[in-house]
Amino acid sequence: MSVLAAAGLLLALAPADSQVTRLAGLARVWGQIKYVHPAMATSRIDWDAALIRAVTAVENAATVEDYRRAISGLLAELHDPVTRVIEKEPTDPTPPAASTPLEVRLEAIDAQTAVVTIPNDPALESAPNLQLEICGRFIAATRFERVVLDLRSPTGRRPGWSVQNAIVKSASRVLSHDVTLAPARFLTHGFYMMR
């Protein structure tokens, strides 16, 4: 068989680009959870078996919604209500003014769990009532049994001093005693960065 015929046969058997893209997305989600999520250090989840089940669902996904359901099924195996697929918020055609600070938000995940989101943004750090706003969200969060503090940033930026200071001063609103934190997990690489 010639090389050209073999290449043609491989191209004919290759899955569609959208399927390859979806499988690559599944692999990125699986790897991020496997190497960074705290549940991998503290639970006995067979994450490799979860991947195998999810691959079949992703390969059979005909629509974007099917793909989202497949990824949601994978994440559901963590039994972590905070690790989930979030629908994209519609983009506003007119971006907010640069001087308008972002909001500190409280989102109820279920009857017992809430997420306090503090965006990592310089505009937020310069807000004059930042500590009062964070304390207000922490006070509102006291009606929940579990509270997750989300400080993530798409750029990897760490919270600035004013945000850290406001959290330290407001944390006593939620915590009545010392708590043991989850194991710290982080991703490091020595050669090419994973994407």
For 37-70, give one letter per residue: b (16+ CB within 10 A) or e.
Answer: bebeeeeebebeebbeebbebbeebeeeeebebb
Side chain identity at residue 100, one-letter code = T
pLDDT at 60 over 60: yes
Q: Which residue has the tokens 């979030």?
A: 86
Distance, in Å, from the CA atom of 133 to the CA atom of 128, rounded to the nearest integer, reads 10
Cβ atoms 170, 134 nearer than 8 A? yes
Q: How far out from the chain centre does Cα 137 lie? A: 21
Dig out the tokens for 182 from the structure. 């989850």
Whole-angstrom Cα distance, residue 126 to residue 101?
8
97-101, 130-134, 191-195: which has the highest mean pLDDT?
130-134
Strands (E), the chain: 105-108, 113-117, 146-150
**Residues 108-133: tens digit of each pLDDT:** 988 998 888 888 777 777 778 888 88
Average pLDDT over the chain reads 77
For residue range 135-156, what is the model confidence (pLDDT) as tens digits? 899 889 889 988 888 877 666 6
Q: Read off the pLDDT of each residue in 12-16 and give the average, rounded to a whole number.
A: 48
β partners of residue 147: 114
CA angle 169/118/26 to nearest 5° reads 135
For position 25, what pLDDT does the model report? 92
Across 5-14, 53-62, 183-192, which has the greatest mean pLDDT? 53-62
For 24, what's the count of Cα atoms within 13 Å in the CB-facing half-sphere? 9
pLDDT for res 98 = 47
pTM here? 0.49
156: left (phi over 0), alpha (psi -120 to 50) or beta: left
pLDDT: is 193 or 164 the higher one? 164
Residue 5: pLDDT above 50?
Answer: no
